[in-house]
Every structure is written in C-alpha cells, then in structure tokens.
Amino acid sequence: MTYIYVCIGYAEAEAAMIAEKNLHVPDELLEQAQRMAESQGRTADEVAADALKRYLARQWLQTISRNAEENRRRLGLKTDEEVEEYVERVIAESRVSNLDTPIRSCRKPKRGFAASPAWSNRLKP
C-alpha cells in the first residue's frame, strides 16, 4: 500500500481556513459596512458580525413568539391573565407531583460530614 502525503505551506493553510469563513455580500452593502466601521473605529468584519448576531437574535425571538402564540391558541388561552393562571397551575401541579416522588438514592457524604448529626438525620428514612 502506498501513501501519498500532501503538505501545504502555512500561507496556503491560512488562506484555506479564511476561505471557509467568507460571506458574500453585495458591493454596495460592503461599502456601507466599511464606512460605518471606519466612523466607529471598528473593522467591517466586526460590524458585519454584530449585524448578523442581531439578525439571528431577532429571528430567534420571532420563532419563540410564534410558538408561544400557537401554544396559546392550542390551549384556548385568550388573555395574558389566562396564560399566567395556566402557568401557575402547571407549576403547582408539578411541585405537588415532585413531593410525591421519593428520593431513592443519596450520594455518600464527604469525609467529616458523616459525623455531623444534621447530616446523619437526613440519611435516615
């Protein structure tokens, strides 16, 4: 079996990594980003990254809002007060069901804690 090793120089490797991160934008948009960056003492890359972060955050919030509205409709909740009552009821039900669940195991205490009466009492059924 023959192996062929391909080596590329540092500059080529760096160029390849940079090429993977490129985004293509219209020239006019790039010029606007460059002017804004210059006026703020930043790079165009920083301005573009900031704009992309804001866009992605806005999209995420819109998705959450849309899902919440769908859940509200599905549950038949029309007002914010109805939503609050529903959430409080579900939380209370969850807490009650968690109280009914026994604790089945406990980690062994660290050295020195076993002698403590308070810790020992907690381990007793």
Domain residues for the domain of 65 are 10-94
Q: Is 107 contained in some domain? A: no
Q: What angle do CA 4, 9, 14 make, to 5 degrees?
A: 120
Say what the pTM is: 0.52
Number of domains in the chain: 1
Residue 102's pLDDT band (boundaries 50, 70, 90)? low
Count CB atoms within 10 A of the CB of residue 50.
15
Task: Decide if pLDDT at 100 tops 80.
Answer: no
Count CB atoms within 10 A of the CB of residue 47.
19
Give residue 37's pLDDT. Answer: 95
Give residue 13's pLDDT. Answer: 61
Task: Decide if pLDDT at 105 tops 60.
Answer: no
Find the radius of gyration of the CA atoms of the chain: 29
Q: Is 89 contained in some domain? A: yes
Comparing 79 with 14, the larger pLDDT belongs to 79
Residue 3's pLDDT band (boundaries 50, 70, 90)? very low
Q: Is 67 contained in some domain? A: yes
Q: Is 101 contained in some domain? A: no
Give residue 109's pLDDT. Answer: 57
Residue 103's pLDDT band (boundaries 50, 70, 90)? low
